[in-house]
């Protein structure tokens, strides 16, 4: 799991207006744990983020989707984040993942289509280190991912502690994958 997962949980909590929970990590792969204060401990990013959204005092529950379809899709992206994004450490894995996401995001503004959701939030945090490592050329190759990423990082309150990435469009590079 990526470093700074504690930071991620904290910025999620911050975004959702939750109180400052105690966050720790467990084991070598740093599974985040959230101590809810009444003796219970939640383990795993997907669990924690769902809990934070559902218990959010600032209406974060709507980020979990309003229709059963949306909710199912968000669950799927949370799973994707933990099982694919966080494990794509190798460059070729990351490239395969970006290619997949790029074609998925072709006709979408956000992961659920047209509405910002928890899926975007979680994927943004997961992809930030990946996008950081890309060159401008690669970012343009995965144009749909880049557009989505740029959109999400400008969504009010999302960016928090993460540095803003710059996306430039260079007409020298022709984008081949429409």
Partner 1 sequence: MGFGNIKSKDGQKQLNDFLADRSYIEGYVPSQGDVVVFEAMSGAPSADLCHALRWFNHISSYNKQERQSWPGVKQPLGNYGPKGGAAAPAGGDDDDDDDDDIDLFGSDDEADAAAEKLKEERLAAYAAKKSKKPALIAKSMIILDVKPWDDETDMSEVEKSVRSIQTDGLVWGTSKLVPLAYGIKKLQISCVVEDDKVGTDFLEESITAFEDYVQSVDVAAFNKL
With respect to partner 1, which residue has the nearer C-beta, 87 or 108? 108
**Given candidates 154, 157, 160, 161, which one binds partner 1 under the rule CB under 8 A?**
154
For 160, other C-beta atoms within 10 Å of its C-beta total 13
With respect to partner 1, which residue has the nearer C-beta, 84 or 109? 109
86 binds partner 1 (CB under 8 A): no
Which H/E stretch holds residue 13?
helix 5-15
136 binds partner 1 (CB under 8 A): no
* Spatial distance between the Cα atoms of 74 and 94, rounded to a whole number of angstroms: 21
Q: What is the CA radius of gyration of the chain?
A: 16
**Given candidates 107, 136, 137, 174, which one binds partner 1 under the rule CB under 8 A?**
107
Count of residues interacting with partner 1 (CB under 8 A): 19
Which residues of the chain form contacts with partner 1 (CB under 8 A)?
106-109, 113-114, 140, 143, 146-148, 150-151, 154-155, 167, 169, 175, 178
């Amino acid at each position: 799991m990526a470093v700074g997962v504690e930071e991620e949980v904290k910025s999620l909590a911050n975004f959702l207006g939750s109180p400052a929970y105690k966050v720790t990590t467990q084991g070598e792969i740093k599974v985040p744990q959230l101590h809810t204060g009444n003796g219970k401990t939640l383990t795993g990013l997907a669990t924690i983020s769902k809990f934070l959204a559902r218990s959010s005092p600032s209406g974060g529950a709507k980020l979990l989707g309003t229709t059963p379809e949306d909710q199912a899709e968000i669950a799927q992206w949370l799973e994707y984040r933990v099982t694919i994004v966080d494990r794509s450490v190798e460059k070729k894995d990351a490239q395969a993942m970006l290619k997949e996401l790029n074609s998925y995001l072709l006709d979408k503004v956000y992961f659920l289509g047209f509405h910002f959701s928890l899926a975007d939030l979680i994927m943004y945090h997961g992809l930030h280190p990946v996008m950081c490592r890309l060159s401008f050329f690669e970012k343009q190759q995965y144009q749909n991912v880049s557009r989505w990423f740029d959109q999400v990082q400008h969504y009010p309150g999302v960016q928090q502690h993460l540095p803003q990435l710059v996306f430039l469009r260079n007409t020298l590079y022709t984008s081949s994958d429409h």
